[in-house]
């Protein structure tokens, strides 16, 4: 049990990688706050974890709201008794275009990729410190490591997530809080489809997006959510006890080029 006696939060946890992570952490002994704006789906994840003998609580919140993004930490601590890990998994594709992009699209991308994530982090730090230390994880992307031609705004935000995490790794080392980033390549989740269905995207259908993607993935496939969750489990657990400030690509080899 790699997460025995641990309690923490996963954001955007009602679907995709967040869901796979919440389920995996619970199976490894953690008590998990499943945070998502889709309340019914979050309850479903919790029901599945409980049916498997694990411990979890659903917290419904629209994390674009900064007050809500902070409040989830107190809510999770009240429900679980302590907080010693946080997976800030929330993110958003943002606009595909630069010329003529709508300010509202830019604001939404900033709010979900950075502002909300920083707010949750701000609330979590004193509580993880009070627990004697722990681990914070962010979700960036291959687009946070190299430029994404199709998503310049997203690429900027996800580079920012890595910068924030590296700086925090330095700042929080004395508090015994490790801070790392997982950088997924393409993963088969609803968001993968969203990247391609933006009105200004080069590819329109899931098939077209998948085909274009496979062309740049050396392993020639799209990942399953659990493959990223497994990396998240490693980085959050004591198996990564000497790993902090790292941005780990889980990308089928995309960034090896
Ligand atoms: N899917 C990919 O190919 C891919 C690749 C690299 C990085 N990422 C990153 O992974 C994360 C998304 O994960 P996924 O692909 O597992 O997504 P997903 O589409 O499976 O799930 C996203 C979840 O976020 C929730 N959500 C959306 N807006 C919210 C809000 N305002 N407040 C609270 N919850 C909200 C949704 O309800 C949903 O449950 C993002 O950080 C994204 O940038 C995804």
- 23-37 per-position pLDDT tens digit: 999 999 999 999 999
The answer to whether the CB of 139 is under 6 A from ligand 1 is: yes
**pLDDT of 126 higher than 70:** yes
For residue 190, is it within any domain?
no
Atom of ligand 1 nearest to the CA of 225: 16
Would the CB of 144 count as within 6 Å of ligand 1? no
Q: What is the mean pLDDT of residues 191-207?
A: 73
| CB-ligand 1 contact for 255 (6 Å cutoff) | no
What CATH number should be reported for the domain holding residue 138?
A: 3.40.50.720
Q: Is residue 81 part of a domain?
A: yes
Query: What residue owns the CA closest to ligand 1's atom 41?
Result: 91
User: What pLDDT score does 64 carry?
Assistant: 98
Q: Whose CA is nearest to atom 19 of ligand 1?
A: 191
Q: Is 17 in the pocket of ligand 1 (CB under 6 A)?
A: yes
Neighbour order of strands in the sheet with 31-36: 55-60, 31-36, 7-11, 85-88, 134-139, 177-184, 247-250
Three-class SS of residue 36? strand
Atom from ligand 1 closest to the CA of residue 184: 6
Q: Is the pLDDT of residue 209 over 80?
A: no
Q: State the number of CA atoms in the 13 A half-sphere of 17 facing the CB.
A: 30
Q: How many A from CA of 99 to the centre of ligand 1?
A: 25
Residue 78's contacts (CB-CB under 8 Å, 6 or more residues apart) are none
**Cα–Cα distance between 209 and 142 in angstroms, integer?**
16
Catalytically active residues are: 154
Residue 251 belongs to a domain = no
Domain count, the chain: 1
- Written as one string, the DSSP assignment of 112-155 is IIIIHHHHHHHHHHHHHHHTT-EEEEEE--GGGTS--TT-HHHH
Q: Which domain holds residue 137?
A: 7-184+224-244
**With 70 as the cut, is the pLDDT of residue 236 above it?**
yes
What is the sign, positive or negative, of the torsion defined by CA atoms of 227, 76, 166, 195?
positive
- How far apart, in whole angstroms, are the C-alpha atoms of residue 72 and residue 124? 9
191 CA: nearest ligand 1 atom: 19
- Could you tell me the distance, in angstroms and rounded to a whole number, from the CA of residue 191 to the centre of ligand 1? 6
Q: Is residue 253 part of a domain?
A: no
pLDDT band at 201 (very low <50, low <70, confident <90, very high): low
Within-domain flag for 198 = no
Q: Is residue 204 predicted with pLDDT exceeding 70?
A: no
- 174 Cα: distance to centroid of ligand 1 (angstroms): 31
Report if residue 236 sits inside a domain: yes
Is 208 inside any structural domain? no
User: Which is the closest atom of ligand 1 to the Cα of 64?
Assistant: 31
Angle at CA 154, nearest 5°, toward 11 and 37? 25
Mean pLDDT of 199-207: 67
pLDDT tens for each residue of 210-230: 787 888 999 999 999 999 999
| Ligand 1 pocket: which of 11, 12, 250 to mutate (most atoms within 8 A of CB) | 12
Dig out the tokens for 161 from the structure. 């997530």
Q: At what angle do helices 103-110 and 152-172 cross, to 10 degrees?
A: 30
| Residue 210 resides in a domain | no
pLDDT of residue 162: 99
Mean pLDDT of 232-257: 98
Residues 54-79 have pLDDT tens digits of: 999 999 999 999 999 999 999 999 99
pLDDT at res. 107: 98
* pLDDT of 199 over the 70 cut: no
């Amino acid at each position: 049990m790699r997460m025995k006696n641990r309690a923490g939060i996963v954001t955007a946890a009602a679907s995709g990688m967040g869901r796979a992570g919440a389920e995996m952490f619970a199976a490894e002994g953690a008590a998990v706050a499943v945070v998502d704006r889709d309340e019914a789906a979050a309850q479903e994840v919790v029901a599945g974890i409980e049916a498997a003998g694990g411990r979890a609580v659903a917290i419904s919140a629209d994390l674009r709201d900064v007050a809500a993004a902070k409040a989830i930490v107190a809510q999770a601590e009240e429900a679980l008794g302590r907080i010693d890990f946080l997976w800030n998994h929330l993110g958003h594709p943002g606009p595909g275009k630069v010329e003529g992009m709508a300010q509202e699209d830019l604001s939404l991308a900033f709010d979900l990729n950075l502002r909300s994530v920083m707010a949750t982090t701000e609330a979590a730090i004193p509580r993880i410190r009070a627990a004697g230390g722990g681990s914070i994880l962010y979700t960036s992307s291959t687009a946070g490591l190299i430029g994404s031609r199709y998503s310049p705004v997203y690429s900027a935000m996800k580079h920012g997530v890595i910068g924030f995490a590296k700086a925090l790794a330095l700042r929080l080392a004395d508090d015994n809080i490790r801070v790392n980033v997982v950088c997924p390549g393409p993963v088969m989740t609803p968001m993968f489809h969203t990247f391609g269905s933006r009105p200004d995207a080069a590819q329109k259908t899931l098939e077209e997006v998948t085909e274009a993607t496979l062309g740049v993935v050396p392993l020639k496939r799209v990942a399953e959510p659990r493959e990223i969750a497994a990396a998240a489990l490693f980085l959050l657990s004591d198996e990564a006890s000497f790993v902090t400030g790292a941005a780990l690509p889980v990308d089928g080899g995309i960034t090896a080029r």
